[in-house]
Amino acid sequence: MRVSVIGCGHLGIPHAAGMAHLGHQVIGVDTDPGKVGALNAGRAPIYEAGLSELLAKHTASGDLRFTLSMREAADADVHFLAVGTPIDSDGRSYDTGQVFGAVRELAPHLTRPCTIMGKSTVTVGTTRRLTELVHRLAPAGTDVNVVWNPEFLREGHAVEDTLQPDRIVVGLTNDHAEQAVRDIYAPILADGVPMFVTTPETAELIKGAANSFLGLKISFINAVADMCTASGADVMTLVEALGIDPRIGAKGMMPGIGYGGGCLPKDVRAFTASATQLGTSDAETLLRAAEAVNENRADYAVQVVDAALDRDLEGARVAMWGASFKAGTNDVRESPALAVAGRLHQLGARVTVHDPVALDTAARRHPELEYADTVEEASADADVILVGTEWPEYRQADAKALADLVTNRTVVDFRNILDGEQWANAGWAVHRLGRPSIDPA
């Protein structure tokens, strides 16, 4: 099929490459000339495992290309909408300007039957409003179907999740549109992936509810981690024991410095705003509690660092290991590690950040921080090392060799990934969230 992907960001690029991989002829549209140029040269402006290879292969074969021109994309059978839905200036609801803007630009070019498949995360009710707009603006009128097909990919696993999703959800009002969805995803459906065909409102709410639940789960375990700290209990053992119960499950329940990224924080906020608009006060209260726990995490982390240091924060040298909001991506949007690093800098600490792939994206957002290409460089003369992102290489760091580089052998493992005993045996004071500290051996 001929496919367009409108909006080439963290969702759109893996999706465009994935659709080419499924055998479709794909054209990606974006408003950013730098991005379009890099993508046409087969270069990915974001880091995701396997993405560069997929892009290079399909741009070289001609199955995948990118353009700045919406008109060039107009004769596709299916148009995926993957533009951003950042938080509005009110700080709570989605700014759907990119979604409505892209559709206003596309619709006048639609002269024959086709399907618009929305993938961006939107407020409940958006699909019906967009349908009215498209039917008014497109020359093909009601022959253009609008369906909502929310995306559940996890950053850090974007290619894998695009090609092997755990489910496909599609909200539609017209049975005709279902066939287009089945055709486009035929190879995936043939693998037995379940597809839920429902109303647009249910599809929109499924996505918001999924991310809000993930946010609730993280805030829950962070709140319980604080109870562990206060009582001397061990949150990691607690998670393991809780997770055995299949009704709870350990996945997505890692205690730490809070959830971040381009999705969870804004999606919880916007879902809370929807609850308010819908007059469902219990949902609003529950979601606000999850947000409040998350918002307090960075300040709490700073208190932990302050208590762990045997000197004033002002002037202290801090090594922050990790800048991306989680491992496997160079996305630093609402990164908890950078939020903590930024606060420490404001309090007068000298913070040097290391990350295996996110130094450029981090430096653009936080130019006030210092950056280092290696863990050793970041840690030289440090008064404290902080593990802010759960990159596997940090787990393997050599505690003995690092001990000779730092001023003080103090580490705060915000992600609970280090082997605390091993670090203590190498002479380190090890501090963790929700677990007892370990004194140097």
Q: Which positions are annotated as active-site residues?
A: 263
Rule CB under 6 A: say whether 30 interacts with ligand NAD: yes
Helix residue ranges, H only, 232-323? 235-243, 264-277, 281-308
Phi, psi dihedrals of residue 209, rounded to the nearest 5°: -70, -40
Is 28 a binder of ligand NAD (CB under 6 A)?
no
Q: Does 9 bind ligand NAD (CB under 6 A)?
A: yes
Helix/strand/coil for 343: helix
Residue 205 Cβ vs ligand NAD, minimum distance, rounded to whole Å? 15
Q: Is 385 in the site for ligand NAD (CB under 6 A)?
A: no
Q: Cβ 262 to ligand NAD, closest distance in Å? A: 4
Choose among 49, 2, 56: nearest CA to 28. 2
Q: How far apart are CA 129 and CA 173, in angstroms?
A: 13
Q: Does 342 bind ligand NAD (CB under 6 A)?
A: no
Six-digit token pair at 222? 């962070």
**Between residues 238 and 263, which has the closer beta carbon with respect to ligand NAD?**
263
**Cα 341 to Cα 336: distance, rounded to the nearest angstrom:** 9
Structure tokens at 357: 């792939």
Q: Which stretch binds ligand NAD (CB under 6 A): 26-34, 189-197, 213-221, 423-431?
A: 26-34
C-beta of residue 381 within 8 angstroms of C-beta of residue 369: no
CB 3 within 8 A of CB 185: no
Binding of ligand NAD by 82 (CB under 6 A)? yes
Q: Which stretch binds ligand NAD (CB under 6 A): 59-67, 71-79, 98-106, 198-206?
A: 98-106
| Contact pick of 120, 212, 222, 229 for ligand NAD (by CB under 6 A) | 120
Q: Which residue is nearest to ligand NAD (CB)?
A: 9
Asked whether position 360 contacts ligand NAD by CB under 6 A, the answer is: no
- Half-sphere exposure in the Cβ direction for 203 (13 Å, CA): 29
Residue type, 175: D
- In whole angstroms, the minimum distance from the beta carbon of 278 to ligand NAD comes to 20
Position 274 contacts ligand NAD (CB under 6 A): no
Cite the beta strand spans of 251-369 per DSSP E.
317-321, 350-354
- Kindly state the smallest distance separating residue 15's Cβ from ligand NAD, in Å: 9
Q: Are 8 and 30 in contact (CB under 8 A)?
A: yes
Span of 9-17, 58-66, 137-145, 223-231 interacting with ligand NAD by CB under 6 A: 9-17
In the complex with ligand NAD, which residue's Cβ is closer, 9 or 260? 9
Only one of the segments 31-39, 215-223, 229-237, 356-364 lies at the binding site for ligand NAD (rule: CB under 6 A); that segment is: 31-39
Q: Which of 72, 77, 88, 105 touches ligand NAD by CB under 6 A?
A: 105
Closest approach of Cβ 97 to ligand NAD, in Å?
8
Judged by DSSP in three states, 435 sits in strand
Q: Which of 59, 85, 115, 324 binds ligand NAD (CB under 6 A)?
A: 85
- Alpha-carbon gap, residue 378 to 391, rounded angstroms: 15
Nearer to ligand NAD, 150 or 434 (CB): 150
Does residue 272 sit in helix, strand or coil?
A: helix
- Kindly state whether residue 262 participates in binding ligand NAD, applying the rule CB under 6 A: yes
Distance of closest approach, residue 164 Cβ to ligand NAD, in angstroms:
15
Joined tokens for residue 425: 């045996």
Contacts of 67 (CB under 8 A, 6+ apart): 27, 28, 29, 36, 73
Q: Is 208 in the site for ligand NAD (CB under 6 A)?
A: no
Q: By CB under 6 A, is residue 263 in contact with ligand NAD?
A: yes
Closest CA to 343 of 303, 372, 394: 303
Angle, helices 264-277 vs 200-231, to 10°: value is 110
102 belongs to the binding site for ligand NAD (CB under 6 A): yes
Write out the residues near ligand NAD by the rule CB under 6 A: 6-12, 29-32, 35, 82-85, 98, 101-102, 105, 120-121, 151, 153, 155, 262-263
